[in-house]
Structure formats: C-alpha cells, structure tokens
Amino acid sequence: MKRIVVLVSLLVAVSIVLSACGGSSAANHLEAIKEAGVIKVGTSADYPPFESVDANGNKVGFDVDLMNEIAKRLGVELEWVDMPFDSLIAAVQEGKIDASISAFNYSEERDQTIDFSDAYYTSEDAFTVAEGFAGTITNPEDIAAYKVGVQTGTTQDSWLTDNLVATGKLPEENLFRYDRVDQAMLDLQNGRIEVMMSDFVPAQALVDELGGLTIVYNGVLSSGPMNIVIPDGDAELQQAINDILKQLQEEGFINALAVKYFAE
C-alpha cells in the first residue's frame, strides 16, 4: 500500500511540474502563441490616433485596429497589456508580452535588444494647396512664406513649430492649428490659409473628395516608418507578422485605416 501511495504521489508531482511548465510541446514562440490561443500585445494607449482609450474604456486607434486584424489572421485572441511607453521594450525582452505596437520607429539602438517587423506604415507628409495657388514650393521650408494650416498635436505640428516657427522663418501668427484635417482643407479651399501640411494618405483622400485642391509636395519630414516590436531572434513570429502585413498592404487595408484615423 505504501508503494502505491508513493507512486501516486510521484505521478501527481510530475503532473504539477508539467503543468507549471505549461506542458507545451511548441517548437517556437509562434507555435506557443497558437497553442495558447492568445497573443499578448503591449501598448501605451495615450497616443491618438494610433492608440487611446475611448469614453467606454475600449482601446481604439490605427494600431489597435491593425493589431486586431493581425491576431485574427494568426488565428488567436488578442490580449492588450497597457503600460507606459518606456516600459514596452523591456516587457518584450523579459517575455511579459509577446509583442508591442505603439507607433514605434526603428532605431539601431533599439535593434540591439529586440527585433522589428517590416514597416507597416510610413508617415509621409504632404503639402496641399488650392488649385489656383500662384506660389512656388520647391523645398519644404518654402512654405514659411505662406499662411500654413496643420492639425494640432501632430508630428507635422511639431515639425513646423520646431523648424520654422522657433527659427523665426514662419511667423507664429501665420501658423493656423486645427482640431480636424478636413476643417483645415475647407479653409484652404476658401482661401483662409494657403498651404496645409498633413499626412499624405488622408490629404490625398480629401483632395479626391473635395475637389479644387492639389498636393504639391510629399515626403518624409516629421516622422517615418513604424514597426511592431517583437522578441530578439524570434524569426517565426517575425515572418508570420510580416506575411500578414504584406497581405494587408496589398489589400488596401492599411491605407483605409490611414484615411479612417488621419482624415478625421
């Protein structure tokens, strides 16, 4: 009888150890995620329109919609983990989360400790004018000679403030800040401002919608490519996410998100 009790105790102990280890037979991180049926993704939900929390407590934004679709195509549920921005990379490194999306830009310094997906969006800037515009914009700083509109709190707002207003090239009274891009475009149509600086994708959408406007310059000035952060050396997860991002680019899903969030 004692031997049976001892044997049963050993079996229970082994079972507990296996349970503690997850009992996983996954060969890599991606397989472990699929086996668990959930991917834990970190974000700092304080950066609209990429990620924020609405009045009902729901996470909303460009990155949120994008990551929801990626999880769907991976065939797993998405569990959001909200934390301060400066904690996200460490959380990925330490395995507290599986990945992070929070308007991250690639940097060589960051790339030393974690990996990145391919860029899912490049925030290219645009200068839009009315079709009858008689001025000349050859270089970005040429817009300092005009009345310029911009959406408040955007990277374009920061670029104009830091590079043109702070340096005295653009008088403060000639910079007009708007809550919404479409409001600014209407003022541009009506001659209240002469140039509008915004993200290229929503600018093109509004040019097509409103008529009477044209884009005279586009390029990367205020931001750049954005990437999803994943654990260092996690080749399988990186490839799976990159494959999905390529699909979403080809289907127009990401451009549609840009119009949805950046043209409001």
- What was the pLDDT predicted at 74? 98
DSSP label at 163? I
Residues 134-147 as b/e (b if ≥16 CB within 10 A, e otherwise) read eeebeebebbbebb
Calculate mean pLDDT across residues 133-161.
Answer: 92
Calculate mean pLDDT across residues 189-209.
Answer: 90
Looking at the predicted structure, is the pLDDT value of residue 123 above 80? no
Confidence of residue 106 (pLDDT cuts 50, 70, 90): confident
CB–CB of 125/197 below 8 Å? Answer: yes
Confidence of residue 15 (pLDDT cuts 50, 70, 90): very low
CB–CB of 51/103 below 8 Å? Answer: yes
- What was the pLDDT predicted at 149? 97
Beta bridge partners of 225: 122
Looking at the predicted structure, is the pLDDT value of residue 4 above 50? no
Confidence of residue 154 (pLDDT cuts 50, 70, 90): confident
Among 38-47, 66-75, 107-116, 119-128, the range with the most confident prediction by mean pLDDT is 66-75
pLDDT tens string 206-221: 898 899 999 999 999 9
Name the residue among 201, 194, 179 with its Cα closest to residue 143: 194
Model confidence, pTM: 0.69
Q: Is 107 exposed, middle or buried (0-12, 13-18, 19+ CB in 10 A)?
A: exposed
From residue 220, alpha-carbon distances to 33, 56, 225 in Å are 35, 35, 9
Domain boundaries, the chain: 28-122+224-262, 125-219
From residue 33, alpha-carbon distances to 15, 24, 82 in Å are 22, 10, 19
Looking at the predicted structure, is the pLDDT value of residue 8 above 80? no
| The residue to which tokens 């994943």 are assigned | 230
Looking at the predicted structure, is the pLDDT value of residue 50 above 70? yes
CATH 3.40.190.10 fits 125-219, yes or no: yes
Answer with the residue of higher pLDDT: 27 or 158.
27
Beta bridge partners of 80: 41
Q: Determine the CATH number of domain 28-122+224-262.
A: 3.40.190.10
User: Mean pLDDT in the chain?
Assistant: 88
Confidence of residue 101 (pLDDT cuts 50, 70, 90): very high
- What was the pLDDT predicted at 179? 85
CB–CB of 124/204 below 8 Å? Answer: no
From residue 56, alpha-carbon distances to 23, 41, 43, 60, 103 in Å are 38, 20, 18, 10, 23
- Fold agreement between 28-122+224-262 and 125-219: yes
Calculate mean pLDDT across residues 249-261.
Answer: 93
How far apart, in whole angstroms, are the C-alpha atoms of residue 196 and residue 121?
21
pLDDT tens string 51-97: 989 999 999 999 999 999 999 999 999 999 999 888 999 999 999 99
Helix, strand or coil, per DSSP, at residue 199: strand
- What was the pLDDT predicted at 196? 96
- What was the pLDDT predicted at 2? 35
Confidence of residue 124 (pLDDT cuts 50, 70, 90): confident
Looking at the predicted structure, is the pLDDT value of residue 194 above 80? yes
Calculate mean pLDDT across residues 248-264.
Answer: 89
